[in-house]
Chains A and B, each alone.
Chain A
Amino acid sequence: MSARVPAADAPRFSVDRIDLAGDRATLRFAGELRFRSCFDAWDEVRDLLRPPPPHLELDVSDVAGLDGGATALLLELRAEAAAAGSDATIVGAKGRVQSMLDLYGAHPRRPSIQAPPARIGILDEIGRETRALLNESNALDFVGDVALAGAQAVRAPGRMNWRDVPRLMERAGADGIPIVLMINFLVGLVTGFQAAIQLEQFGANIFIADLVGLSVTRELAPLMTAIIIAGRSGAAFSAELGTMRVSEEIDALRTLGLDPYQYLVFPRVLALTLVAPLLTVLADVIGIAGGLLVAMFSLDLTFHAYVAQSEKALDLFDVFSGLLKSAVFGLNIGLIACQRGLATRGGAEGVGRSTTSAVVTSLFAIVVLDAVFTVIFHALGH
């Protein structure tokens, strides 16, 4: 029996099985054993072990060269033969071939300390994720630590990191103004167009001011602004804290006697809570301006008529309920982003995971909170 590699461009090797008397057999290897060519023919080589002889010699005396991968295959072949009951040895090695066998064979085999991660089905995955979510003690710890830091802020305000608040407000607020204005202007514009098509049919053009004004101040401006803040600042805070976590900066902070909640979480959460309503005020104005543009150019309303109708339609509650909502959205984004950031594990991949999770969780929470607010305001008669 024999196995040969026919590929013209690959280094050639051959293996022959020679059965001898007394239950002995030899696999004689010859030529250049390179792992690329070995892999192609290795199943045929393994077939040569069947039936396994009680005494097997793997004779490599005619092997001219052996690379690392081929050495690993050869040693594996010996182990397979031994597992099948053969008394297998490698013989005839000399020079570089012997050195390679010594190098790769010197370390004893060790079983894996941990089982490989199992492939799991989608239902299994859903179950695991749900259980992980329910058991997320980190999140509960976090809520407790934030509550403690909040109490500390009231009791000993001097210990909080107020210094970073203006810088963070600038980053989350002032730097985000262009995108907040752009998005909310377009949202006001689109809402205006949608309203214009319907209202024109009934000759109720003037009510575009009511529709745009109410939907922008009560719903769209707080919601769109919160979504922008979650995408910009929530992601940034989570990535920043996550990177600090994996580069031991959070540990260093603790060894300097600084509480990460007071030093990092507090200013970020405060900055977002303050900045979100401020951005929403701008969003309200620019959203209404979007509606105004449609009213003037598509419905032939005058500037004064639109503004007068808006004043009539909107009361302070509409504006302040939106601002209250956006403050809560900001607080929520800040808390989630910081919690995900501080819970980061496992290097660069972990930072990516926590950032994604921060944004997705924030968006989900914003929508849920918005629904809760709507129910509460409805119950209050607004």
Chain B
Amino acid sequence: MPSDTDRTTPPPIIEAASLTIGYGSRVLLDRLDFAIAAGQVFAILGGSGCGKSTLLRHLIGLEVPMSGTISVAGRPPVQDAGPPAYGVLFQSGALFGSMTLAQNVALPLRTWSRLDGEAIDTIVRAKLRLVGLEGFENHMPSELSGGMKKRAGIARALALDPPLLFLDEPSAGLDPVSSVELDQLLLTLNHSLGMTTVIVTHELQSIFAVADACIMLDRDARGIIARGHPATLRDQSDDPRVRAFFNREARPA
């Protein structure tokens, strides 16, 4: 099915066709079709419980769809042992609790590169500097605030310079200043490296600041109720659910 995002010049890097997902026999989202163009910052929006994070878990290959297909960079997203094709930031940061921050960021480099310890240290410090955590190399995750854990998670996701980055609620729990800094970081990565970024969020400021395109999911409709540029949807959508979301109104009855 054609979508707004198909019209951009770059070819799609992620495509979902007739994708149905859920848990057990319970369908959460039914027959989704969408495409994400390479180099875009793409937002998956929707209220709580609509299946945003579950959709993300399917896109990164942690869950198997009930039916339909997903293609990421031309192949199904399967998590098998091998150098990862993309970086992922989980909602809680998901840092390894038994390792220091530096060890967390160094793990993918140690596993998938032949760099020596000194080179890895240099890269780790650079990644931590990028997210504003230089100096915290030897802290354990339990010694960090929620926002710091999240930023460290981004540093780890960026360790191997992936062309594709998935972020699950990156700004949730961050103070407004950190949130804006994070948005700027994502934009810089996108502009300077051409990194495709897929963000699951419901933070309106972030959406307007960074997203080139979005799809909006709805729990009751069990599917996509809007797609396009966020500002266009906010200003021009006829759907009261979409308008309510973008204008921070109560859900229409």
| Interface contact A258-B111, CB-CB below 8 Å | yes
User: In this assembly, does B34 line the interface, its C-beta being within 8 Å of a C-beta of chain A?
Assistant: no
Q: Which of B79, B91, B92 contacts A255, CB < 8 Å?
A: B79
Known contacts A257-B108, A257-B112, A258-B111; decide if A252 and B81 are in contact (CB<8 Å). Answer: no
Per-position 1/0 for A230-265, Cβ under 8 A of B: 000000000000011001110111111111001000
- B99 vs chain A, min Cβ distance (A): 10
User: In this assembly, does A159 line the interface, its C-beta being within 8 Å of a C-beta of chain B?
Assistant: yes
Per-position 1/0 for A108-127, Cβ under 8 A of B: 10000000000000000000
**Interface stretch (choices B12-20, B82-90, B117-125):** B82-90
Residue of B nearest to A258 (CB): B111
| Interface contact A248-B90, CB-CB below 8 Å | yes
Q: Which of A106, A252, A257 contacts B111, CB < 8 Å?
A: A257
Known contacts A256-B107, A257-B111; decide if A248 and B91 are in contact (CB<8 Å). Answer: yes
Q: Please, how many angstroms separate the alpha-carbon atoms of A251 and B253 in the complex? A: 38
User: In this assembly, does B62 line the interface, its C-beta being within 8 Å of a C-beta of chain A?
Assistant: yes
In the complex, chain A residues 245-303 whose Cβ is within 8 Å of any chain B Cβ: 247-249, 251-259, 262
Per-position 1/0 for A144-183, Cβ under 8 A of B: 0000000000000001000000000000000000000000
- A288 vs chain B, min Cβ distance (A): 38
| Interface contact B92-A248, CB-CB below 8 Å | yes
Q: Please, which residues of chain A bring their CB within 8 A of the CB of B96?
A: 244, 249, 252-253
User: In this assembly, does B60 line the interface, its C-beta being within 8 Å of a C-beta of chain A?
Assistant: yes
Residue of A nearest to B250 (CB): A106
Q: Please, which residues of chain B bring their CB within 8 A of the CB of A258?
A: 81, 107, 111
Q: Please, how many angstroms separate the alpha-carbon atoms of A255 and B107 in the complex? A: 12
| Interface contact B62-A257, CB-CB below 8 Å | no
Known contacts A251-B94, A256-B108, A257-B111; decide if A262 and B81 are in contact (CB<8 Å). Answer: yes
Greatest chain B CB density within 10 A among A106, A252, A253 is at A252
Residue of A nearest to B153 (CB): A252
Q: Please, which residues of chain A bring their CB within 8 A of the CB of B60?
A: 255
Taking residues whose C-beta sits less than 8 angstroms from the other chain, chain A's interface range is: 10 to 19
- A169 vs chain B, min Cβ distance (A): 16
- B59 vs chain A, min Cβ distance (A): 11
| Interface contact B79-A254, CB-CB below 8 Å | yes
Q: Please, which residues of chain A bring their CB within 8 A of the CB of B82?
A: 257
User: In this assembly, does B97 line the interface, its C-beta being within 8 Å of a C-beta of chain A?
Assistant: yes
In the complex, chain A residues 309-333 whose Cβ is within 8 Å of any chain B Cβ: none
| Interface contact A257-B83, CB-CB below 8 Å | yes
- Chain B residues in contact with chain A, CB under 8 A? 57, 60, 62, 79-84, 86-88, 90-92, 94-97, 107-108, 111-112, 153, 156, 253
Q: Could you list 23 examples of A-B contacts with CB < 8 Å? A: A106-B253, A108-B253, A159-B81, A247-B94, A248-B90, A248-B94, A249-B97, A251-B57, A251-B88, A251-B90, A254-B62, A255-B62, A255-B79, A255-B84, A255-B86, A255-B87, A255-B88, A256-B107, A257-B81, A257-B82, A257-B84, A257-B108, A262-B81
Nearest 5 pairs of A and B residues by beta carbon: A252-B94, A259-B81, A248-B94, A255-B88, A257-B84
